[in-house]
A = this chain, B = another copy of it.
């Protein structure tokens, strides 16, 4: 099985000596700048002997992976120049921002974005001083870093981001350095399989470069400490053709890398040419063994070999700052100076501190400069979706709360048309759940992406296709990573996933929200990117045999901790509201929109026009369900979420019957952030408006889809907060019928009605009798559910009598 494995200990030397010397010089310039960022606050070009006062007062930054990453970068430059390649760079180790910053600065792109850090000595010093300094530049490839779509502050997502960027960008090559520490994370380990979802004819290419620099913060990496045959087998097993570039002697390594990179690019082009030559016969596209590179170089390559008797180069001690005390230890100051001077800055920069002309000529120009690739600032390329009119997809019915329909089935028809109109800029993501979530209606327009083996039966129930627009893999991490890479390069999508398991990507959500907040609020040069749209479905209240593990609506708590400038939560109560919300979300940018909507049949309440109005307001009094005729009510029944709404309505109906003179105002919330004050969230309601809906002093019985404390978290400083009594999921469940689950968590109609009666002293008389009846109903419902395994018909088929 060794035929397509290349160990580039080949004698091939594709680079002429002059060019090689220049490439090496350029690389030395990169390394000099990377080290300078970590250490220098003065004397940036070492025009005078290094003194303690030239050293920053606090030394911060990550040196370890910088030389290796810059090494990749300078060799990419060579081929970009030679072949006019369109290359995006993803830096997986993340901590190696100095490499990206150095290269962007040397290619002249960084100074274009940050003119104050200009391409001369003065700008160089400003760059050095800003790095890892307050108000300055981070040590990861943060949003502030030109050319980055991937921060790397949290490890594991470089490869999925890279594939997301490559999808539907047939001309693009996404060179992706995967850290060998990063490679130990779960999300990264499974994302190698993304190659089963990349169509060589219509997508771009990803060139993974596993940077085997041997160490993490303070430990060796697993992949650096297994035998070569295992490492080779692993990547062949993942479906790649691995190429090994290994060594530490720069000249030989330059030749090896140049030869290997040439070979990889040639292989990529051959794969693509072959697939594209097949023309429109998509079914003939087969999965190629894409090339990948294992680059084994010393950690902290070219840095100090040993400091204070400890090995540093090629050891984990070079992870961050290799020499920690140069300002206070003269021997180490000297060591630092020797190290910095080993790059011979005087040969690299002219008298103004500008990279010398010979070297400048090595960098590509304009948007071919890696950090200037427009895909890395995807908003530049963003085009609005061609959107159909949601009114054409409205769910029609005669009377509110009289028929059941699955909201996601209705949504699917709409998404199908969105997909049809945007066949190269919209994808649907789901972890093997698109059909389960009843979104399979989209399959009429496009199947499920699959670039692996197929069988005849695969056409049954949503065809597998190398052209499919539906991305299904049982890895929420990979899907979210793809989706983020896709939107950060300017395209659109929607990710539908089980409510309980969206927690799998809590951390990815956090990181993307943080990225957006910076990009949106602080970086004018980053153009707005399409929103991440998360459809949270298969909800807590309808889990049946899946039981307790599938009951977790707590993602919303995570979302509400993020910047109000970038997060939105919608809880459409029915299908038309879901359409209206989805239509809105797909038109937005720079948000994470979270839509909570179930797949099971639910009662339908609002016509399309009513839904549009209701969703635009985000919160509203439903007069048809209220019994206060616009007067001051005895109590407010509020609700958010489908089941919460149905049970709240049923409670109103019960109360109408049993406590006829009770005046109830019925409020439904779609846009959850309406509950917050306008001072805390752009969608927040001013206190005056909130009070006019929820009253200043009447009891509010709030039936909530998720954990009840979330409503308190959002409303704690409202006038009437002391009177808000929130019902919601209280972390109680097991194998239950839907109604039994509602009962044990107190969101059922009977419990709500009892709560209303308890809160309105005026009706204590009629209420007492009603409460007895209500309590009996609860007992009877549970008994029936346990005996029959289903809910009573009058519960299962309840509709609003009006």
Contacts and interface: CB of A to CB of B under 8 A. Distances in A.
Interface residues of A, number: 130
Given A135-B736, A230-B236, A452-B222, A506 B558 contact: yes
A82 interface: no
- Number of this chain's copies in the complex: 2
Residue among A134, A237, A478, A504 facing the most chain B CB atoms (10 A cut-off) = A134
Contacts of A189: 186, 189-190, 193, 475
A136 interface: yes
B184 A475 contact: yes
Nearest to A139: B545
Contact of A475 (B185, B448, B475, B518): B185
B219 A432 contact: yes
Contacts of A234: 233-234, 236-238
A539 to B, nearest CB: 15
A772 to B, nearest CB: 25
Interface in A234-259: 234-239
Given A154-B501, A562-B731, A740-B134, A545 B713 contact: no
Interface in A550-581: 550, 552, 554, 557-558, 560-563
Nearest to A461: B218
A464 B220 contact: yes
A218 B432 CA distance: 6
A789 B561 CA distance: 29
A647 interface: no
Given A133-B735, A433-B217, A473-B222, A153 B546 contact: yes
B789 A474 contact: no
Contacts of A549: 140, 142, 151, 153-154, 511, 514
A155 interface: yes
B225 A454 contact: yes
A436 B225 contact: no
A764 interface: no
Interface in A427-449: 432-436, 448
A653 interface: no
Interface in A445-467: 448, 450, 452-455, 457-458, 460-462, 464
A181 B474 contact: yes
Contacts of A151: 549
Contacts of A239: 226, 230
A80 B303 CA distance: 57
A393 interface: no
Contacts of A196: 222, 225-226
A434 B316 CA distance: 14
Contacts of A132: 544-545, 735
B432 A216 contact: yes
Given A218-B462, A462-B218, A477-B186, A560 B709 contact: yes
B233 A60 contact: no
Contacts of A60: 544-545
A707 B564 CA distance: 13
A187 interface: yes
Interface string A57-68: 110110000000
Contacts of A232: 237
Nearest to A153: B549
A483 to B, nearest CB: 15
A204 interface: no
Given A154-B500, A185-B475, A548-B518, A217 B435 contact: yes
A277 interface: no
A404 interface: no
7 contacts: A61-B545, A139-B545, A181-B474, A217-B436, A317-B461, A557-B561, A709-B716
Given A139-B545, A184-B473, A510-B552, 9 more contacts: A134-B737, A135-B740, A142-B547, A218-B435, A226-B452, A232-B237, A235-B237, A557-B557, A557-B558
